């Protein structure tokens, strides 16, 4: 399975021939090896972050081009404890789970929280084109297999769900339960009849300020184009705004019920000393398969077919005021067998980054689901 995922990741990033670019000379990929360049955030950037006393752990994974990338992860609690896996989204990192880890450890769990490639203390390829959805799945699959994790209860939010649900579909035998919060597995969300209009509108969208993002998602931004999905403003913001280098500001403004302190903002900003470190954060929104002709639509549809057979406990715990994924729980409750008989819930008051607003309610969701898995 991992070999198939890696081969797919490589095939999606072939170096184009010169003829495709208007030239006449053909260059084959296997004759032109390329080393993936990356940066690694200096360790001192993570010294004395507020409420983040955890020790770093690292694994090397295949970068799909013959080299390796280092993935950072937290590994807290007893080594023989039942595994709780926490996957963050964009533009956050494992710092987002700082208030959930201690109570889960106190409950006896082994809690593991990785930083996705391009985020936190993990390596950050500098070319934006090096980031693809398939590669993110391949990198985290490699990491998961190396740790040989099993009987996993996983908590997923934002991009953590786009990658995490693909892992569940690829390795269902390794997972005993899923808590999905403010996330999903899109496979062409925009109806095809509106796709052309949306793509054209994107070209002329303004690059908004971080403080305007919440209004964009809610459809109340005064300078907005009618009918354009709010997520396209986020795509444009991440691709072009200098503010993405300070993700603490964006996290603070996107539908949060509580405000970040200055120290918390600086902690979220810590992984990104300068613009060369933010290619992953810039790239992520453009990898979400909104349109039916975008990469990974077929792969996500295939993953959905596996999830439609997934009968282990699957809880939806979306927040009450998320302008990004509101209503995204319904397809899972309707289609995933494991959702039947589970007490789904609404967490609140909370915005998109529910782990920041209501960490204890998120912990309780995991504990309640885990009690259910113990009886399966």
Chain segment 42-64, per-residue pLDDT in tens = 999 999 999 999 999 999 999 99
| Two tokens, residue 35 | 């080393």
User: Do 201 and 264 share a structural domain?
Assistant: yes
Kindly state whether residue 83 falls inside one of the protein's structural domains: yes
Kindly state whether residue 298 falls inside one of the protein's structural domains: no
Catalytic residue among 63, 82, 115, 158: 158
User: Do 76 and 158 share a structural domain?
Assistant: yes
Give the residues across from 346 on adjacent strands.
318
Give the pLDDT confidence of 253-280 residue by residue, as tens digits.
886 788 999 999 999 999 999 999 999 9
Element (H, E) at 125: strand 124-125
Backbone dihedral angles phi then psi of residue 182, each to the nearest 5 degrees: 50, 55
Kindly state whether residue 295 falls inside one of the protein's structural domains: no
Q: Let me know if 158 is a catalytic residue.
A: yes
> What is the number of structural domains in the chain?
2
Kindly state whether residue 64 falls inside one of the protein's structural domains: yes
User: Of 287, 319, 338, which marks where a domain is finished?
Assistant: 287
Q: Give the separation between CA 1 and CA 340, rounded to whole angstroms.
A: 29
H-state helical runs in the chain: 2-11, 101-106, 133-147, 159-170, 192-204, 213-218, 230-240, 247-253, 262-269, 279-287, 297-307, 330-335, 354-357, 359-373
Give the pLDDT confidence of 319-330 residue by residue, as tens digits.
999 999 999 999
User: Do 7 and 114 share a structural domain?
Assistant: yes
Kindly state whether residue 338 falls inside one of the protein's structural domains: yes
Q: Let me know if 72 is a catalytic residue.
A: no
The whole-number average pLDDT for the span 196-207 is 90
User: Do 334 and 241 share a structural domain?
Assistant: no
User: Do 322 and 283 share a structural domain?
Assistant: no
User: Of 233, 260, 287, which marks where a domain is finished?
Assistant: 287
Kindly state whether residue 292 falls inside one of the protein's structural domains: no
User: Do 196 and 180 share a structural domain?
Assistant: no
182, 158 contact by CB (below 8 A): yes
User: Do 282 and 334 share a structural domain?
Assistant: no
The pLDDT value given to residue 191: 86
The whole-number average pLDDT for the span 283-303 is 95
Enclosing domain of residue 203: 192-287
User: Do 336 and 260 share a structural domain?
Assistant: no
Backbone dihedral angles phi then psi of residue 286, each to the nearest 5 degrees: -75, -10
Catalytic residue among 72, 214, 352, 357: 352
Instruction: Report whether pLDDT(300) > 90.
Output: yes
Catalytic residue among 252, 322, 329, 357: 322
User: Do 275 and 163 share a structural domain?
Assistant: no
Kindly state whether residue 296 falls inside one of the protein's structural domains: no
User: Do 222 and 200 share a structural domain?
Assistant: yes
Q: Give the separation between CA 213 and CA 373, rounded to whole angstroms.
A: 38
Q: Give the separation between CA 300 and CA 185, rounded to whole angstroms.
A: 7
Q: What is the CA radius of gyration of the chain?
A: 20
User: Do 217 and 178 share a structural domain?
Assistant: no
Q: Let me know if 322 is a catalytic residue.
A: yes
The whole-number average pLDDT for the span 293-304 is 95
Question: pLDDT category, 372, cuts 50, 70, 90?
Answer: confident
Element (H, E) at 61: strand 57-62
Kindly state whether residue 357 falls inside one of the protein's structural domains: yes
The CATH number for 71's domain is 3.40.50.1820
User: Do 41 and 175 share a structural domain?
Assistant: yes
Question: pLDDT category, 5, cuts 50, 70, 90?
Answer: low
């Amino acid at each position: 399975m991992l070999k198939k995922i890696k081969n797919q990741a490589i095939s999606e990033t072939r170096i184009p021939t010169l003829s495709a670019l208007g030239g006449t000379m053909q260059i084959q990929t296997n004759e032109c090896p390329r080393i993936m360049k990356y940066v690694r955030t200096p360790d001192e950037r993570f010294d004395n972050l507020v409420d983040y006393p955890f020790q770093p752990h690292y694994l090397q994974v295949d970068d799909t081009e013959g080299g390796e990338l280092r993935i950072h992860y937290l590994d807290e609690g007893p080594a023989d404890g039942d595994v709780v896996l926490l996957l963050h989204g964009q533009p956050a990192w494992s710092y987002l789970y700082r208030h959930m880890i201690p109570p889960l450890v106190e409950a006896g769990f082994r809690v593991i929280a990785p930083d996705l490639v391009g985020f936190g203390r993990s390596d950050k390829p500098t070319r934006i084109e090096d980031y693809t959805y398939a590669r993110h799945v391949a990198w985290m699959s490699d990491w998961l297999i190396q740790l040989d994790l099993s009987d996993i209860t996983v908590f997923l939010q934002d991009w953590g769900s786009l990658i995490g649900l693909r892992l569940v579909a690829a390795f269902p035998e390794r997972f005993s339960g899923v808590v999905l919060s403010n996330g999903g597995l899109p496979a062409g969300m925009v109806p095809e009849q509106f796709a052309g209009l949306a793509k054209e509108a994107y070209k002329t969208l303004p690059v908004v300020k971080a403080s305007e993002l919440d209004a964009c998602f809610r459809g109340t931004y005064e300078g907005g184009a009618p009918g354009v999905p709010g997520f396209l403003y986020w795509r444009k913001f991440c691709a072009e705004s200098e503010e993405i280098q300070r993700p603490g500001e964006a996290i603070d403004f996107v539908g949060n019920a509580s405000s970040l302190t200055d120290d918390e903002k600086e902690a979220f900003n810590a992984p990104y000393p300068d613009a060369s470190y933010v290619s992953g954060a810039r790239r992520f929104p453009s990898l979400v398969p909104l349109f039916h002709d975008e990469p990974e639509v077929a792969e996500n549809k295939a993953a959905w077919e596996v999830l439609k057979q997934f009968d282990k406990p699957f809880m939806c715990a979306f927040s009450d005021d998320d302008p990004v994924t509101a209503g995204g729980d319904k397809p899972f409750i309707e289609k995933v067998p494991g959702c039947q008989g589970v007490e789904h819930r609404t967490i609140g008051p909370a915005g998109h980054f529910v782990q920041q607003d209501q960490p204890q309610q998120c912990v309780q969701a995991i504990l309640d689901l885990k009690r259910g898995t113990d009886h399966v």
